[in-house]
Structure 1
Amino acid sequence: MNGKVAIVTGAGSGIGRAAAIRLAAEGARVGLINKTEKDVQETRQMIEDAGGEALAFTADISVPAEYKQALEQITRQWGQIDALFANAGILGVVGPIEAIPDDEWDTTMTNNVKGAFTSVKYIIPYLKQQGKGSIALTSSISGTRVFSQQGFAAYSTSKASIAAFGQMAAFELAPYNIRVNIVAPGTIETKIQGTGNQMPEMKDMKVKKVEYPDGTVPLPEGNGTSDQVASVVLFLLSDDSAHVSGSIIYVDGSESLFVG
């Protein structure tokens, strides 16, 4: 990633932070975008302490004006943008479909789907200017391979939408030498659980549990880590994946094959 500028949204924790740190370690200058000032500044400090370069911005990617301003400042500083990891998102409302408030559904869709759309839409001109580029979006096994999570209708729908959007973008942007791929993590230890709103009606839902003897991830190591997802993001944003576009890469230790 030497000489490249990469943007990471949701860079304040979890997969976004791990990807930003990994990209910087491999030579990229990284533009960090996150809703929470404290978290994104911590990521910037970690990168700089390790000898990397980073700029940190507090912005809501579902608000185009905030995101566009961050991109403008990044290009003013570094003169280019080569790659995007559109990772920001929330778990959102968790509950029975008939009990989900309309505004809670809208909040999940706005943060996840509109956020991904905004992230990609406004970075395209910068990538076209470079004559090439790479985009990776964070989807999930939820809504693409797994449909057995009780109460996850909103989250899974948003993540399925991101996967579809990414594939449509890959086809549309291919003539401009811009690649788009989708990362679909399984159970990863991150802070996203803290962004959810579990409804009290969940206790009344009928649940048929599927249990693996040692959890739901067949690989002996169990749940995945943000660093493992970051390795895949690095591959997709680098020239090592030059002929990979429109792909959904599952990073789940084959969990989705078991619980789908």
Structure 2
Amino acid sequence: MTSRFTDRTALVTGAGSGIGRAIALAFAAEGARVVVAGRRREPLDETVRLIEDQGGKALAVTADVTRPEDAESMVRAAVDTFGSLDVAVNNAGVFRGGAPLADLPEADWRTQLDTNVTGVFLPLRAEIHRMRAQPSGGAIVNIASTFGAHTRVPGATGYAASKAAVSALTRGAALDHIGEGVRINAVSPGAVETPMSLRPGETEADREERARATLPLGRVSSTAEIAAAVLYLASDDASSVVGTDLVVDSGATA
């Protein structure tokens, strides 16, 4: 591994499992001090333990990304503990779907908008406030989805609308704040080896068989592959990449 993030502090939301945990572990492996945030303390503590077992430094912060005070507290905790906020990854998200839009309960619609859109906007705003006040600026990566700006499927219209908003939010914010030294991009995963990509009643073996038949690559992406894309965009290797939406989807939308 390289040490692209030595002496830098990274904040990752939704870091208690899945893609978020993989991203946090990847930053730590490349030298970052990592703040892991999420609603439930126990899985966050497990992420911290995994990082510390690698010899890294991490801090768990219990926070709800839909609450402005929690978004501010995550950033404040990073700065108070490690002295800066150099990288942020807004990964927390939920999926509520499986039915046509007309049959989607309003509560599910609101939950997706609250978490997937407002839950990106509030941390993003707090992160920008801090980063633009630092001489070194910072880099932010939002996790969108291929469902939304890139493709749509029946039964996921509400989710797609929320993730399309993340893509638009990313591009707009990138233009608003690159002049202040804050570089913002997005990663749009397709199917990944997490429970979210399992269809109702489907096993992991079933998913593998489906992927072989339907995805050009013949398999879903690993969480490590999504993390690698995030770290690229957050690193100095991508210093001229601004407002992009990087698709990582095994060729599904090619």
Asked if these proteins are the same fold (TM beyond 0.5), I'd say yes
Q: Does 1:78 align with 2:82?
A: yes
Q: TM-score when scaled to structure 1?
A: 0.88
Aligned to 1:208: none
Which one of the candidate residues 149, 167, 173 is aligned to 1:144? 149
The amino acid across from 1:81 in the alignment is: L
Residues 191 and 197 in structure 2, CA contact (< 8 A), matched pair in contact too: no
Aligned to 2:162: 158
Which one of the candidate residues 209, 212, 215 is aligned to 1:214? 212
Aligned to 1:224: 221
CA distance in 1, matches of 2:235, 2:53: 23
CA distance in 2, matches of 1:109, 1:9: 16
SS at match of 2:97: strand
Distance change in 2, residues 1:37/1:191 (3 Å): farther
CA distance in 1, matches of 2:213, 2:149: 21
Which one of the candidate residues 226, 244, 247 is aligned to 1:247? 244
SS at match of 2:163: helix
Distance change in 2, residues 1:212/1:256 (3 Å): farther
Matches within 5 A, 1:54-203: 54-131=58-135, 132-147=137-152, 149-192=153-196
SS at match of 1:243: coil
Matched residue pairs, number? 241
Q: Which runs of 5+ in 1 are unaligned?
A: 199-210
Q: CA deviation at 1:79?
A: 1.4
The amino acid across from 2:213 in the alignment is: G
SS at match of 2:28: helix
Residues 95 and 152 in structure 1, CA contact (< 8 A), matched pair in contact too: yes
Q: CA deviation at 1:191?
A: 3.5
Distance change in 2, residues 1:186/1:24 (3 Å): same
Task: Map Cα deviations across residues 185-213 of structure 1 (whole Å, 9 max, x no partner).
Answer: 1110123358x9x8xxxxxxxxxxxx989
The amino acid across from 1:88 in the alignment is: A
CA distance in 2, matches of 1:144, 1:25: 32
The amino acid across from 2:120 in the alignment is: A
Higher relative contact order (CA closer than 8 Å, sequence separation 6+): 1
SS at match of 1:246: coil
Residues 13 and 190 in structure 1, CA contact (< 8 A), matched pair in contact too: no
Distance change in 2, residues 1:106/1:28 (3 Å): same
Identity, % of aligned positions: 34
Distance change in 2, residues 1:218/1:45 (3 Å): same
Q: CA deviation at 1:94?
A: 3.2
CA distance in 1, matches of 2:224, 2:38: 19
Q: TM-score when scaled to structure 2?
A: 0.90
Q: CA RMSD in A?
A: 1.8
Residues 211 and 220 in structure 2, CA contact (< 8 A), matched pair in contact too: no
Aligned to 1:205: none
SS at match of 2:214: coil
Task: Map Cα deviations across residues 153-202 of structure 1 (whole Å, 9 max, x no partner).
Answer: 110000000000000000001111211111001110123358x9x8xxxx
Q: CA deviation at 1:138?
A: 0.5
CA distance in 1, matches of 2:77, 2:120: 20
Distance change in 2, residues 1:143/1:48 (3 Å): same
Task: Map Cα deviations across residues 41-91 of structure 1 (whole Å, 9 max, x no partner).
Answer: 110000000000000011111111122222212211111101111000001
